[in-house]
Structure formats: C-alpha cells, structure tokens
Amino acid sequence: MTDAATTEAVGEASVPRFARGVKFRFDDTRKSWMVLAPERLFLPDEAATEILKLVDGQRSLGAIIDDLATRFDVSRDEMAGDVGGMLRDLAEKGVVLL
C-alpha cells in the first residue's frame, strides 16, 4: 500500500492531534522545534515541523494536506503521501493520534 493510499485508509476527515503528555514547542536554547513525549524527545526536520505546526486537534488531515500542497506548490497526491507517511510513523510511536 502506498503512503497516499494509507492516508486515504486513515481518512482525510480524521483530525490528527498530539497524544496525551506530548508537547510540540520551540526550544529557545536549541533554536529549534521539538516534540517532547514521556521519556522521549524528537527533533523534527523542517518539513516535519511545517506539518506538525498544523496538527492542532481541529484541522482535518485533508485540510493539512491542502494547506501544505498549496503553500509549497506540490501536487496534492505527493503531499498526501508525505504527510500521511510521517503522521502514520508518529502514530505508531504513540506521539500522534489519527
């Protein structure tokens, strides 16, 4: 199954949110964004940071994909694969709920 197909399987109407106890914030000391989870720390790259900034518990997966595809002038299918793959990976780690 491709990442785009996986995104559709999850459902673009789903609303991703951070799991309980997970924080996404900018660290002034490191001058970078980070995901703080119980006993774990993730330092997302620039692309992941742009995705995570849109995970607010209100915006649907489809809306996140549309926003990023428009902003970065990338095909929607390509963006769906990238966003879906990253969020699925974080969901498997218990960081994001889909």
Which tens digit of pLDDT belongs to each residue from 53-71?
999 999 999 999 999 999 9
pLDDT over 50 at 18, yes or no? yes
Identity of the residue numbered 46 = E
Burial 14-24 (b: 16+ CB within 10 A, else e): ebbebeeebeb
pTM of the model: 0.86
Domains of the chain, each with CATH number or no CATH:
17-97 (1.10.10.1150)
